[in-house]
Amino acid sequence: MSDSNLLQRHRRGRVWLVVFQVALLVGIVALGALLFNILNGSFGYVAVEDTIPPQDLAVNGVPLEEQDKETLIQVLQAHISAGLFARYEFEKPFAERSAGEVYDLILERVIEPKFVAQWSLFETLTDGDAIRQTAAQEFPNARLEFRSWLNGHFLRAPQSSYPEIAGVRTAVLGSLWTIAIAVLFAFPVGVAAAVYLQEYAPDNLINRIIQTNITNLAGVPSIIYGILGLAIFVRALGHFTSGVAFGASDPSTANGRTILSAGLTLGMLVLPLIIINAQEAIKAVPSSLRQASFGLGATRLETVWHHVLPNAISGIMTGTILAISRAIGETAPLVVIGASTFIQVDPEGPFSNFTTLPIQIYQWTARPQSVFRNLAGGASLVLLGLLLTLNATAIILRNRYRRSL
């Protein structure tokens, strides 16, 4: 082999190395831009005007945030009408409310904060003096504070049309309900289908067609699954998915656009992914393990249950994690199913109306007021945290039940 040929091969190798490094750099830059955009909108200065400043509500010099529930109830009762106080008592007795809930009512009805201006994290860090000067000149009655849009009130408050008191509690509960139903439906069905296709199904034309279609279904756009869910779970099976068949809903108002329909639709969406990944995991189990089991007199079911699945569980759980990651961020199928864009009532069961975090983020980013984009940034952090928590739980379960070959 000539020296010129060797130099050409090394040169080609260096070129491809640069291509690989650039590809990695593009991925890192894209991820960095995403995180910067979310963090930039989630923190920063805000100018807030209060109807009654919180320090004016301090009792015996103790700030409002440090008061006990009884004192907070007295403060609330002293600053709102008797009729409004009675309405809150009727909706939920104060004896059953937490101190945080009473504080939120004071925030909404007594303090009544109003955001008159807000700045991004980048502007706050790079142009702080100018912001303070601008706030003092243009908003003399406002207080300037560094705000984290992701805070305790944001997590425990329901949705609101007022950004000062809006939260994501209803959306978080809706996301948890839909994902739980999707996993409970798709995981056992997907693993069972993968076991049949990999361990029992003969290699014939029908099974090859089924396998091909499952592979193709994994790439179908999610909105198509939304149309499928609308036709099956909302319209055809609406009597069951709305809870009317079980006496759990009012027939005059039930319409099938419930958490159960949404969860089953997301389950259909991720089912092909779970089947394909479970098949690959089962296929990776050495055939010698099966042959040894058969040689000892075990049936096929015993071999699958005691030897194949325990050794494939790591790969199956990895596929399930990827499927959950896709389902939790889906918006299009839930919009078709009929997710509420504005709802203040927490879901209480599978037959409740719902919204989810992606729907909430979409709804806020569509608002013309710029302050809602800050709320969307905070909700995006909640969604990422929720996703990482669910993935971490799945990884812990995977490692717990993993068996080394």
Cβ neighbours of 264 (radius 10 Å): 24
Residues 6+ apart with CB under 8 A from 18: none
Q: Indicate if the alpha-carbon torsion angle 323, 191, 185, 401 is positive or negative.
A: negative
Q: Which of 320, 295, 96, 107 lies closest to 194, judged by CA? A: 320
- Residue 402 has what pLDDT? 64
Kindly calculate the radius of gyration of the chain based on its CA atoms and give it in whole angstroms.
28
Token digits for 140? 């003399």
**pLDDT at 308 (0 to 100):** 92
CB atoms within 10 A of CB 367: 14
Would you state the pLDDT for residue 262? Answer: 92
Pairwise CA distance, residues 296 & 392, whole Å: 38
Token code pair at residue 4:
């010129």
Match 């719902």 to its residue by tokens.
Answer: 354
**Residue count (the chain):** 405
Nearest to 183 by CA among 68, 40, 326: 326
Q: What φ, ψ does residue 278 adopt, rounded to 5°?
A: -65, -40
Tell me whether strands 143-148 and 114-118 are parallel, antiparallel or unpaired. unpaired
> Which pair of tokens denotes residue 45?
């200065």
The pLDDT score that the predictor gives to residue 326 is: 82
Residue 120 CA to residue 380 CA, distance in Å, equals: 15
Closest by CA position to 341, among listed 370, 377, 372, 371: 372
CA atoms within 13 A on the CB side of 177: 24
Q: How much is the pTM?
A: 0.82
User: Positive or negative, the Cα torsion across 229, 231, 235, 237?
Assistant: negative
> What's the pLDDT score for residue 209?
92
Which tokens belong to 142?
A: 């406002």
Spatial separation of the C-alpha atoms in residues 153 and 169, rounded to whole Å: 9
- Token representation of residue 215: 């592979």
Distance of CA 137 to the CA centre of its chain: 41
Give, for all 405 residues of the chain, the pLDDT tens digit: 566 788 888 999 999 999 999 999 999 999 999 999 889 988 999 998 888 888 888 887 788 878 888 888 888 888 888 888 888 888 888 888 888 888 888 888 888 888 888 899 999 999 989 999 998 999 888 889 898 988 888 888 888 888 888 889 999 999 999 999 999 999 999 999 999 999 999 888 998 999 999 988 888 888 999 999 999 999 999 888 888 888 877 777 778 889 999 999 999 999 999 999 999 999 999 999 999 999 999 999 999 999 899 889 888 888 888 888 888 888 888 888 888 777 878 888 889 888 899 999 988 888 888 888 888 988 999 998 888 888 788 778 777 766 554
Q: Which helix (H) or strand (E) segment is 157 a member of?
A: none
The per-residue pLDDT for 405 is: 46
Nearest residue to 101 (alpha-carbon basis) of 157, 61, 43: 157
Name the E strands within 92-195.
Answer: 114-118, 143-148
